[in-house]
Each structure stands twice: as C-alpha cells, then as structure tokens.
Structure 1
Amino acid sequence: MSAVTLPEGDWIRGISIRQPYAACILAGAKTVENRPARWRTGWVLLHTSKTIDRTALRTPLVDRTIRDRQLVTGSVVGIARITDCHQDPAGAPLCSEWAFQDAWHLVLADVQELPLPVPARGQVVPWKPTPDLLARVFQQLPDFRP
C-alpha cells in the first residue's frame, strides 16, 4: 500500500455529526448537513459525536436508511467534500428532505467511508485535524487524491 501525498496547509477540517445522521451520510442517503452558521467548501473528515440522537432513530426517514448499520461514536468514520453551503429562501421548498428551515445547508459529495473507524476527539465547530490523525485516516484511503 503506497502512502498518500497530502497537500500542505489548511485544506481539510473535521466535522462532528451525531449518530444516526453520520450513518445516513455514509449510506449515501443524506447529502445535506444542517448547521447554525456558514461553513466553507472543501474536504472534511466525518467524525461521529459521542452521543446518539435516540429520537431520530424512531423517524421513518432515518430508520429505513440506517437499517443494519453500526452506529459508531467518537471516531472519524469517513471523508466528504462540502460543495456548497446555503440557506433556502423563506417560503421556498427545502433543497432536501434532510434540510431544516433556517439552517445553513452543507451539501456533501464524494463521501468515502473508512474500512475501520479511527477514534478521535471532535468539536462542535469546524476543527483542524492533527497530522497523526490525518495519517491514520488516509492510510485507509490509498487512492484518495484531493
């Protein structure tokens, strides 16, 4: 397995997402993540928070998406690229069935799930991963090219 040559500088951030929503993103169904503030576009590590939204487990949209998926917490479980960040105009239809009114919608693409979760600490706000964490994540994605 060859090592991935990663760009220098501030090219990737971490985003912490509660389960089961992270599992829905990894399944390819949830392509919009809701946030209270604008985010920049670019690559993000998908990190799962330590808590699970138990209420969300009972919603049909989530239930049918995560069936038979493990809800890993406290780990980086994949990567994705934020291609857009927007708010839908008041009164307009939402851009996705996963979107919330009055939230910033992070549009996710190029989602790749890690074969093995990498335990890590995240934060509510965009966070900068350590070089060691990036090395452990991208060791599992030898074909990744930013």
Structure 2
Amino acid sequence: MSTATLPEGDWIRGLSIKQPYAACILAGAKTIENRPTRWRLGWVLLHASKTIDQPALRIPLIGRTIRGRQLACGAVVGVARITACHKDPEGRPPCSEWAEPGKWHLVLEDVHELPLPVPVRGNVVPWKPSPDLVTRVFQQLPDLRP
C-alpha cells in the first residue's frame, strides 16, 4: 500500500495494551478494551506495551485464548476500528466477559494482525502515530483500505 492510498489528517491513533490482552484481541476473542475515559471512534494501531501482566497468564479464559501465540511486546501488532464506546448501565450484566465494571468499553472490530510486529514506543493515552509508522504498518496490510 502506498501512502497515497491512506487518508490524510488526524484519522488514526495508537492504543497501547498490555500483553496478554493484546494477543487476546488479535485472536478475536477479546472484542472489548477497558479504559478509564471515553475514546473517540475510528481506527487505532494496536500497540503491545512492554509490560506483560504476569498474573493474567494464569486466568483460564486468557490461557485458552493465547495458547500457542507469541506475546510480542513494545511493538504495533495490529490495526482495529473502535466502533462504539460505552459503559454498562449500573445493575446490568456486563456486555462481555472481558468488560470491567465502571470502565469505558471500547468495542473493537475489523481487527487485523500484522505479519511482523513493528517496534515502537507507545503511551497509555491515545497517541498520534507518525506518518512513517502508519506507512510501515499498512504496507503489511495491502488489502485493508481504511
């Protein structure tokens, strides 16, 4: 994909996620990402932070989901689209087994895993990727047209 086919302007952000949760998203099992604040809808680069949540590796749901998968860290590992951002109504059951009460739930769809992780430093808050990084990511996804 050439840079000419990518949208111009402020259309994509970076979303940093600890492992093994990033791997669960890439596997297609985790469609909700929990955040303390509301996020805007649209495309995000999925960045696996350098931190691995070690206790989470012992959770059966996560263990089943990531079995046999590599846990890349400190790299963009995929692309997804946030299609909704909501909180569960108080007193109602969670929208997903991955949803944390009281948090904003980012609904992730159109998840695309990169064949090769692209090393980059991320941030916890929405961060703006450089045009070079976006180009390097989308070169690996030639059929994806955001």
Task: Give the helix-richer structure, 1 or 2.
Answer: 2
Identity %: 75
Root mean square deviation of aligned Cα: 0.7
1:25 aligns with 2:25: yes
Aligned residues: 145
Counterpart of 1:120 in structure 2 is 120
Counterpart of 1:3 in structure 2 is 2
Counterpart of 1:62 in structure 2 is 62
- CA deviations on 1:27-85 (whole Å, 9 max, x unpaired) are 00000000000000000000011010000000011000000000000000000000000
1:46 aligns with 2:80: no
Alpha-carbon deviation of 1:128?
A: 0.3
> How far apart, in 2, do the equivalents of 1:41 and 1:60 lie?
31
> How far apart, in 2, do the equivalents of 1:58 and 1:11 lie?
37
Runs (5+) with no aligned partner, structure 1: none
> How far apart, in 2, do the equivalents of 1:20 and 1:85 lie?
22
Counterpart of 1:97 in structure 2 is 97
Amino acid at match of 2:129: P
Alpha-carbon deviation of 1:145?
A: 0.7
Runs of 4 or more above 2 Å deviation: none
- CA deviations on 1:87-131 (whole Å, 9 max, x unpaired) are 001110100000000000000000000000000010000000001
Amino acid at match of 2:114: L
TM-score, normalised relative to structure 1? 0.98
Counterpart of 2:135 in structure 1 is 135
> How far apart, in 1, do the equivalents of 2:144 and 2:66 lie?
25
| Superposition map of 1:75-90 within 5 A | 75-90=75-90
